[in-house]
Each structure stands twice: as C-alpha cells, then as structure tokens.
Amino acid sequence: MSDNAVERLGSETEETPKYFKRKYLAAAPLYAWSSSVIHRYLAGRSALQLSQWFGNNLRVRFQEHQALNTAEGVVLDNFLDFFSNDVTAALLDAMCGKGLLECNPGFTRAFWTFCDNFPTFMKRTPRFLARKATTPLDEDGDDLLWGSAFFRERFSTFVYEMGFDARDMASMELGFLFGASENVIMNTYWCAIDVFKDQPLLRVSAENKLIQQPLLQAVLAESLSLRCHNMFIRKTTEVINIMSWAIPKDRFVIAWSTPGQMDSKVWSNTDDLHPVDTFWPGRFLKYTDVSESPQFSARRHFAKIHCIVTLAMMVEIFDCNILAEPKVLKVDQSKFGMGVLAPSGKVVARLRGRETTN
C-alpha cells in the first residue's frame, strides 16, 4: 500500500461517504467506515447467504476429493494442506466468486505463504531479507471477476469515489481476506484434529449428534481457548482509572487475552480434573451470555458457521486418522498474539471415504 493511502486511512480529517453514520469505533473516519462495512457483510442476512454459498462449494470439493477414489484413501503429509487448499478455495469462491481462482489458480498457495509470514510484514523486514514472504506479493494475476457485491461496491467507492489507487485497493482486500479467512480456517483445522483424535467424540459424530449445535460450539470454544491468543490495542478516549493506576487520555493500551482464558480458577473445577491447557469440550457446554458487544468482531458469526459446516460435512463424508506424534500437536508460538496459532509441525493424516454400516 502506498504511503499516501496509509496516511489517508489514518487521518482524522478524511471524509467518509455521506451515507455512513459513525457509531462506536474510536478510530480514524475511513478506517471506521471500512470496518462498519465489513461488519455488515459478515453478519445477518449477508452472512447467511455467504454461509450457504460456502457450504455448497465445500460439499462439491469434498465429494470430488481424491481420497474418495480408493478404499485406502490418501496419506496427507501435512493435514493443513487439505484446509489451505480445499477449504480455503471453497471460502474464496463464496466471497470473491469463482473468477479469482480461475484466473489465478495458485492464489491459495500464495495466500497462505502471506499468512505464514505475517509477522515479517508486521516487523517491516526489508524485502531483500524476506524473499520467501514477498515473492507471492509480486505475482500479479489478472483477477477479472469478483463474485459478491461487497467487493464490487468497495472497489467502486475506494477507487472511483475516493481516488485510491487500484494497488492500494488490492492491499486492502488482501488484508480483509487475511482477517476473514486465516484464523477461521486455522481454528477449523484444529477442531477437525480434535474431533478425529477423540474416539468418544467421534462416536458421537457417527451417531449424527455432532451436528447438534451445543456440542459443536463447545468444541469450537474449547479450541479457541487453547490456541487463540490475541493482543488488543486501543487508544483511550478519556482518563481510565484501574485501581491505583490512571491511564491518560489519547494513550495506546495493549491487553492480552491469554491470562483470562487460561485462568484455572475460572475454567477448571476444584479438583482440576480437566486442566485449562488440555482439550475438554465439556468446559463450554453450559451457555454463558457474555458474547454480545458492539466491540466484538462480526466475524465470530460466520466463523462459527464456517467451523460447524466444515466439521459436520467432514465427519459425514470422510474417515480420518491423525498420525502425528503428540509433540507435533503443540502450538507454534512464533505468531503469539496474532490469533489462532498453528501446530508446531506438519500433521500427517490418512483421509478416506467414510465407511457406512447398514
């Protein structure tokens, strides 16, 4: 993104489209407007339609997967490839239309290279020291077709009405795809590992109970608790008093999610039968009404649907044996604070068509 675009997005004096009413985001006008548009796209009726498109695309890709061609199935050297290729492609087709991958079939590979190297971009490492990270960004594809009105409207507004360069727009859209896809797919990947490794949980799925929302949402919540670690950066709009401390106005504050979600006094019982650092979906089977706030990400609605649809469809169509050693399933700390962490190594898995019994 050009320096001018970065400056405009952070400017307090930039004007937004007339139909935008600034609500709760204490951010620069253009950034706040862009965020509100994304929230509308990933919530409500729009999210429902997106989920339906995603589910249809995913089923087609699953039913055409090579693992269903032989009784033995296939051994995947890296189970994540299944998600970064097939699941990501189904999501991109739903959000961007099929034209993106038709014009640029290698986009999923380049996209996950970008995701894997996100800390490199955060640190602004010089390009000549980070060729692996920057090479995919230099591969310009002629992406002629965009599927949803969301992308067309954003492009029209930013480029034609506001005068942003098309390459600036491409940077914004890549950022959106990263935010909408990377954490969602990585957590779904972890949930699939948990379900297929846990034989009692898998037996529940065989009895067609896994698709019941309370259990699936509990699996989703437990996986996020174990592997999703975020830092939240906010600018104070007034003086904030916390016990004997005072944080002045207009100062940046960083908070971490980890201390709260790993507090055994909150999330474990008195005998610590299920420690907070071990997978146990029963921890979240009881509903708690603490998930609604205007500050919460709208992506959580679609993220939940994405995970539930993918898991339910996987256990319906596939049998999967996770062949990785326990040490590989420890989280990789290199991206700590940036969302859902990946496993520390490649997870080997055998994927084949599910055996049905009469």
For residue 169, which amino acid is it? M
Angle between helices 29-41 and 44-63 (to 10 degrees): 60
Per domain, the residue ranges of the chain are 3-13+24-104+141-353
Q: Please report which confidence band the pLDDT of residue 203 belongs to, taking 50, 70 and 90 as the band edges.
A: low
Residue 288 has pLDDT above 70, yes or no: no
Q: What is the pLDDT of residue 19?
A: 58
CA angle (338 as vertex; 187, 222 as ends), nearest 5:
35
Which one is the CATH code of 3-13+24-104+141-353: 1.20.140.10, 3.40.50.300, 1.10.3720.10, 1.10.630.10?
A: 1.10.630.10
Q: What is the pLDDT of residue 26?
A: 65
Residue 294 has pLDDT above 50, yes or no: no
Q: Compare 39 and 115 and report the one with higher pLDDT.
A: 115
- Starting at the earlier edge strand, list the strands of the sheet with 252-256: 252-256, 228-235, 338-340
Taking the C-alpha atoms of residue 121 and residue 111, their distance in angstroms, rounded to an integer, is 14
Please give the average per-residue pLDDT across 221-236, as a whole number: 88
Residues 6+ apart with CB under 8 A from 355: 319
Model confidence pLDDT, tens digit, residues 95-106:
888 888 888 888
- Residue 14 backbone class (left: φ over 0; alpha: ψ -120 to 50; beta: rest): beta
Answer yes or no: are the C-beta atoms of 155 and 136 closer than 8 Å. no
For 40, the token pair is 């509308």
Helices (H), 198-331: 199-206, 213-227, 258-261, 264-267, 299-317
pTM: 0.77
Please give the average per-residue pLDDT across 244-267, as a whole number: 88
343 phi, psi to nearest 5 deg: -65, 160
Taking the C-alpha atoms of residue 35 and residue 20, their distance in angstroms, rounded to an integer, is 11
Please give the average per-residue pLDDT across 231-248, as a whole number: 89
What is the number of alpha carbons within 13 Å of residue 336 lying toward its C-beta?
9
Q: What is the pLDDT of residue 143?
A: 39
Q: Please report which confidence band the pLDDT of residue 291 belongs to, taking 50, 70 and 90 as the band edges.
A: very low
Q: What is the pLDDT of residue 142?
A: 37
DSSP label at residue 292: -
3-state helix, strand, coil in the chain (%, to 5): 55, 10, 35
